[in-house]
Structure 1
Amino acid sequence: MPTRHVLLAVLVAVLWGLNFLAIHASLQHFPPIFLVALRFALLAVPTILLVPRPQAPLRWLVGYGLGFGTLQFFGLYLGMAAGFPAGLASLVLQASAPFTVVLGVLLLRERLSPRGALGVLVAVAGLAVVGVTRAEATSWLPFLLVVLGALGWALGNLASRLAAPPKPLHLTLWMSVVPPLPMLALSLALEGPGEVWRALAASGSAAAVPAWVGLAYTVLLGTVVGSGIWVWLMKQHPAGVVAPFSMLVPVVGVLAAWWVLGERPALLELAGGVLVVGGVLLAARAARPVPPAHDQLTASPAPEVVSPARSPRA
C-alpha cells in the first residue's frame, strides 16, 4: 500500500477507536436503547432521500440491519450503560471475528482449518478471561451484553456477504433504515416513554452538549467518513492487506479510554484482550470459504471476519 493509503487506514482505525468515547458521552444523557434508535434514524432519513437503494436481496439487507445494526448496538450500548468500560468494550467486540468464522462453518458450510480452529479457541479463552475478571469485579451481565453485540455483528457479516452488493457503502448506509423502528419500540417498552421524554426535554441544555457531540461523531465521522474511506481502501487493495488495520481499533479504544476517562483495565483483562485479538488474527488468516452445493449464493466473496469493511464501526 502507498504511504498515504496506510495513513488513511490508520486514520479509520483511530476514528473507530474513538467511537467508544463518543458512545460513552452520549450514554451519559440518553437511554441506551433509545440512543440506538436515534443514532440510526439520523442516518436513515438522509440515506432514504439521497442514496440509491443497494442492488441486493431485501432479506439480506434486512438481515444485515437486524444483525449488525440492531442486535450489535443493542448489546453494546446496554452493556456500556450497565458499566462495561469503553476501552474494554472495543476489545471484546472483536469477538465478532471468531463468531463469524464459526457461523460460516455452521450456516454456510465453510471449511475451518486446524489453524482457524486454534484461533477461535484462543479468542474464546481470551473472552473467558475477560468475563471472569469482570464478573469478580462487578457482574457477568455487562460483559455478556457486549458479547451479544459481537454475535450480532457476526450475523451481520454473514448477511452482508450474502447480499454481495456492487456498492458496499450503499448497503452500509441502507442498513440504517432497519434499526430505528424496532429499537424505538423496545425503548418505549423497556425504558418507558417517561425516560425517553425526560432525555429529550433536557436535550437542549448545556449538560447535553457532550451527548450530542458524541452522537454527531458516531454518525458523521465513525460511520460516513470512516466507512467511506474503508470501503474505498478495500476496493483498492486485497482484503488481507487492509483488514489487519482494524486490529488497531481496540488499541486506540483502550488508550483513549485510559487517557480521557481514566479507565485502568486489570492485568488479566488486558491479557484476555490480547488473546482475543491474537485469536482473531489466527482465525481470520486461516478461514477459507467452501461453496454450498445446493444454491448459487456462493458467487460472493468470503466474509472479512476481522474487518468492518461494510459497516460503521461501533
Structure 2
Amino acid sequence: MIGTAPKTNSFGARDFAVVVIMNILWGFNIIAVKMAVTAIAPLTAGFLRQLIVLVVCGSALRIVPGKMRLLTILGILSGGLFYIVVNVSLAVSDNVGALAIAGQLGVPFSLLLAILVFRERIRWPRIAGIALSFGGVVLLVFDPDAAREVPGLMLTAVASFIWAICSLIQRYLIGVPVLTIYAWVGFWGSVTLGTLAWFVEPAAMRTISSLPLSTLGWVAFSAIGSTVIGQGSMSWLLQRHPISVVTPLTLAAPIVSVFAASWYFGTPLTMLMLTGGAVAMLGVAIVTIRTARAGDTP
C-alpha cells in the first residue's frame, strides 16, 4: 500500500479521528503486551495474539502467486521471531517506557537497510536524524532508572532491527491486500510461536483454556486493536493521502506509550529519560518526514 500514488483527498474530521484512534491503540498496546506476558508467559502470549490475528484475518488467507516465499519469510519473522524478542524484552523489564523509546530504532534501521539494499542516497538531514535516534537511546543507559533495563533495551533494539527487515520485505509485497498479508503473518506466527511455546512453556500452553477473560482481553487488545485495526487504519489513510502527510502523524504513538506506561505502572520519568526520548524522537521525526517526502517523488 505504501507504494501507491499520493492521493489528493482533503484531510477531514474522519481522517483525523482515525489518526487519533490509531495512535491511541498503538500507544496503549505496550501496556497490554506487558500485562499479557506477565499474566501468561512470553511465548504463549505471543502465540495467542497471532492466533487471534489469524482468526480475524483468516477469510483473507489465500495463495498469492509469486509472493508466497516472501509472505512465508515475513510471517516467520514478523509473526514469530519479532514477538519472541519483544515479549521477552517486556517480560524482563519494569520500566517499559524506556523500551518504548528504544523501539523507535526501527525507523533509522529501516533507512540504513534501504541504503544497503536499494542503494538509496540520503543527504545530511537524514544522516543527522539517524545519529540523533541512536544518541537518544544511548542517553537512556546513563539514567539510573533506565540503566537497569539494559537487557530489555538490547532485546528491543534487536526487535527493532527485525521490524526494519520486515518493512523492507513489505516493499516487495506492494499490491497484496493488507488482510492477506496479516492472515499469513498470523498463520506463520501461530505455527512458529505455538511450536516453540509447546516445548519451552508447556505448563502455560496447557492452562490456556482456563485463562480468565481479563487476561485474554489484554491479548485481544494487542491482536485486534494494535495489529488489525491499527495497521488497517494506516493502510486506509495511505490509500487516501500522500505518504508525507500520513507517516509523520504516527509519531504520536511512542509518546503516548511512554506517558501511558509511566502512568499505568507507576514508573518514573526522569529528566534524563525525557531528554533521551526527546532526542530520539527528534531524530525519528527527521528521518520519517524526510523519507516520506522522498517517497512521494515520482
TM-score by length of 2: 0.86
- Equivalent residue number for residue 200 of structure 1: 208
> C-alpha separation between the residues in 1 aligned to 2:185 and 2:55?
12
Q: Which piece of structure 1 moves more, 53-62 or 150-159? A: 53-62
Question: Which residue matches 2:197?
Answer: 187
> Paired residue for 1:41?
51
Deviation of 1:89 after TM superposition, in Å, equals: 2.5
The correspondence for 1:220, drawn from 198, 219, 224, is 224
Using a 3 Å threshold, how does the CA distance of structure 1 residues 278 and 61 change in structure 2: closer, same or farther?
same
User: 1:281/1:111 Cα in 2 relative to 1: closer, same or farther (>3 Å)?
Assistant: same
Q: Are 2:267 and 1:267 equivalent residues in the alignment?
A: no
CA contact (8 A) 1:34 1:184 kept: yes
Instruction: State the match for 1:235 in structure 2.
Output: 239
Comparing 44-53 with 263-272, which one deviates more in the overlay? 44-53
Displacement of 1:50: 4.6
Q: Describe the superposition over 1:32-79 as per-residue Cα deviations: whole angstroms up to 9, x where unpaired.
A: 012111210222245334544556611221232233322322221111
Q: CA deviation at 1:243?
A: 0.8
Contiguous gaps of at least 5 residues in structure 2: 1-10
Task: Please tell me the residue identity of whatever aligns with 2:208.
Answer: L
SS, match of residue 175 in structure 2: coil
Matching residue of 2:7: none
Aligned to 1:249: 253
Deviates more, 1:263-272 or 1:54-63: 54-63
Is the contact between residue 113 and residue 287 of structure 1 (CA under 8 Å) also seen in structure 2?
no
Q: How does 1:291-302 map to 2 (within 5 A)?
A: none
Determine whether 1:63 maps to 2:73: yes
For the structure 1 residues 60 and 113, does the alpha-carbon distance in structure 2 shift closer, same or farther, using more than 3 Å as the test?
Answer: farther
The answer to whether the Cα contact below 8 Å between 2:28 and 2:260 also exists between their aligned partners in 1 is yes
**Whole-Å separation in 1 of the counterparts to 2:64 and 2:23:** 26
- Map of 2:5 onto structure 1: none
Distance 2:49 2:149 in 1: 28
Q: Which runs of 4+ in 1 moved over 6 A?
A: none
Q: Kindly state the Cα deviation for residue 132 of structure 1 after the two structures are TM-superposed.
A: 4.2
> In the alignment, is the contact (CA less than 8 A) between 1:90 and 1:249 conserved in 2?
no
Offset at 1:101?
0.3
Amino acid at match of 1:233: L
Separation in 2, partners of 1:166, 1:188: 32
State how many pairs are aligned.
286
* Structure 1 segments unaligned to the other structure (5+ residues): 291-300, 303-314
Which residue pairs with 1:167 in the alignment? 177
2: CA distance, partners of 1:47 / 1:247: 26
The 5 Å alignment of 1:1-314 reads 1-53=11-63, 57-133=67-143, 137-189=147-199, 191-197=200-206, 199-200=207-208, 202-203=210-211, 208-287=212-291
